[in-house]
């Protein structure tokens, strides 16, 4: 396989998972990027907006817009950081936690179905390799 093809495959897997995921969560009134954000905050509580943008590799201004939408829905709250008055810590509300858990379950089921239908794909190895790729990119 040519190395440039990795990008093609990664993009294709991402798009397909998001398309399928969007169909499964249509009744929840949350967009795919916002769902990613809710699940990330669930897994990384107490981060500032800047830290979230950096860790998720998101444009800070686009993140601000999505945070506002999530606040308007009552799923997250933004509080002044205790040590840096300019920074805002993003946390989930009770409703946001429940939604994030539902989203994580839905996405987990999507992957479980994929691996169950394709036993030749080793989920443990794939997960380890993707984690190594992500860590290498974070260190750049």
Across the chain, mean pLDDT equals 92
**Positions in the chain short of pLDDT 50:** none
Pairing between strand 88-92 and 76-80? antiparallel
**CATH classification at residue 43:** 1.10.10.10
Dihedral pair phi/psi, residue 122, rounded to 5°? -90, 105
pLDDT (tens digit, 9 = 90+) per residue, 54-94? 999 899 889 999 999 999 999 999 998 888 888 889 999 99
pTM: 0.86
Percentage with pLDDT > 90 across the chain: 71
- Residue 81: per-residue pLDDT: 81
Number of separate domains in the chain: 1
Give residue 124's domain range: 5-138
Give the distance from CA 140 to its chain's centroid. Answer: 21
């Amino acid at each position: 396989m040519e190395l440039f093809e990795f990008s093609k495959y990664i993009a294709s897997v991402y798009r397909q998972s998001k398309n399928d995921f969007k169909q499964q969560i249509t009744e929840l009134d949350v967009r795919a990027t916002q769902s990613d954000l809710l699940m990330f905050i669930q897994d990384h509580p107490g981060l500032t907006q800047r830290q979230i943008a950096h860790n998720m590799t998101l444009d800070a201004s686009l993140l601000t817009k999505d945070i506002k939408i999530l606040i308007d829905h009552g799923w997250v709250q933004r509080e002044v950081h205790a040590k840096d008055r300019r920074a805002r810590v993003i946390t989930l509300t009770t409703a946001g936690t429940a939604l994030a858990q539902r989203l994580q379950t839905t996405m987990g089921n999507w992957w479980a179905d994929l691996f169950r239908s394709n036993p030749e794909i080793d989920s443990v190895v794939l997960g380890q390799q993707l984690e190594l790729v992500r860590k290498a990119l974070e260190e750049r």
